[in-house]
Structure 1
C-alpha cells in the first residue's frame, strides 16, 4: 500500500474546501441560528395590530375556502422551488430545495426587495457546490424571468375574459406611461454610465454577463429546465391570486376568480418594484384599489388583503423561521 508523505497530508488538511464554510459551534454561530426568530418577533411587535385584526376577521370566514387558500399557498412554494431548479443546470435535491424556499419566504418578509430570499437561496446553491458567479447568475435569471412570465399570463386573461375584465377603468393615463418609460430609461442610462465611467466594474460585470449567457443557453437546451423556469414563473402569480380569491370568497367578496387574479397581476406590475419587505404595503394598496375598481366594497377588499397577508405571511412566518434556523444549524445554508 502506497504511503502518502507527511507533507502532502499536512497540505491536504490545510487546503480550504470549496463551497461555503460551515458554521462553527461558537456562541456567534448559535446566535445566528436564532436571528431569524428574533427578527420575526421584532416585526410582530411593530405590526401587531394588523396581524390581530386580520386574524379576528378570518375567524368568521368560511373554513373550507380558507383551507383552499392554504392549499394554493403550499403550491406557491412548490412553484418557487421549480423556478429555482429551472435557473441552474445542476440537479438540486428536491426536499432540501423546497425546505430552503419555505425558509426563504420567512427571510423575504423581513428584508426588502427579495434580498432575504435571494441570500438564503445563494447560500443554499453554494452549499450544493455551485460557484458564486454561477449562483449569482441564477438569481439574476430568476429575477428576470418572473416579471417577464407575467406578460403572457396577462395576455391570456385579457383574451379569455374580455367582458369580465373592465380594463377601461384601470387604463393608465399618458402621464403615468411617460413616467414609467422615463424611469426605465433613466435606470438603463445610469447603469450604462456607471459601467462606462467606473472601470473596476467592467471586468466583473462582463464576466458575470458571460457566465449568465452561458448558463441561459445551456438551460434552454433542456426542456425540463425550460418548463420548470418559465412554467413555474407563470404559475406563481396565478397561484398567489388564487390564494387571494379563496380568502375573498370565504368573506363574501363579490368578484370572480378571474377579476381577483387579474387585479393582483395589475397591482404587482404597477408597484411590484417598490422595495418593501415581501411587497407588503405598496402592492396591498394597489391591490385594494384595483379590486375596488372592479366593484368590490372598500372595507371588504381591505379585509380580503389583510386576511391574505395573515394566511401567507403571518401563519407560515414562525415555522419558516424555525426551518431557516434548522437549515443553518445543519449547515445546509
Structure 2
C-alpha cells in the first residue's frame, strides 16, 4: 500500500529538522532521515529503493523524514509507510506547515558578520541581492566562510547552495566574453539591451518601487534560435559573464539537463522543472536550457486524450515558472517557428520589467 506524505513542510529544511526530531522523541519515536539530494536513482531503481526504505522504517519503528531532492516525489509515491517531507516543490498533501521567509535579509547577515570584515556593507548588499537565504542558512554560510585574511561572503553563500541542483543541472563556467561575439548590428544591439536591462533592473525594481506591485516578470528569459554553431550558447555565456555585481563574484551559470527533466510519468516533468527553478532562486544563478524542443511542445485546442490535456497543463506550468523566475533564463533551439508557436504567450506579455527576447 502506498502512502501520501503525512505532513508536508515548505521552507528551510535544516531549520525544521531539529523541531521534527524533538517532537518525534517526545512521542517515543526515533527519526530515520533521508537526504534527498544524495539519492540518485534511475526510474528503474526507484521501486527497489522504496521497498528497502519501507522495510527499514518498519523494522526500526522510526518516523521517516525525507528532505528535498530531484527524485524525492517519485520516491514518495512508492513508499509503503506514512512519512514526512521537507521540500520546495508543493504538491497535493494531507497537511502543510509553511515556514515564513526572513523579513530582513540584510539584518540576518549584519547580526552574524563581524564588523571588521573588509568591505562589509558592500559584500552584504551584494549577497542579499543575489541569494535568498533564511537566517539558519545565513548562519551556516557565515560559519563556513573561512574567515582568514580576505573572507568572501559571496562565495560562502554560493558554496552553501551549490549542491541543491542534484543531477538535473551542472555548473558550467561562463568563459565567453563580449568581444567574442561576431554578430550583425541588430543582434548585437538586442544583446546589449539585455545586459542594460539586467544592469539597471535593481534600480527600477527596488529603488523606483516597480517590484512592489508584482512578484512576476522581474527577471529575463531569452530565447536564442539558429542552426548549430551560430553562437547561441556563446551569447548566453557572454551575457552572464557581464552580470558580476558590485562587491560580489560572478553569477553562477547552470546548464540544465533537459533530458533529465523529461519523464514517462505524468507530472514528473513539472516537478523536476519546479525543483530546478527553486534551487536557482535561492542561489542567484542563471539557467541555460540547451535544446528545449523536448520540453516545450505545441499547445493544442483540440484535446483528444489525456496526453494532450497533461501536455497543455505542463506547458502552462513551465511558462509560469519562467515568468515568475526573478533571474536569468536562457533557452536555445534551432527552429524559429517552433519558438513562435510554443512561447507565444511569453512573447506577447513583454513588460517594462521583463521580456522574452528572440535573437540569433
Report the TM-score, using the length of structure 2 for normalisation: 0.24
* Greater share of strand: 2
The answer to which structure, 1 or 2, has the higher relative contact order (CA under 8 A, 6+ apart) is: 1
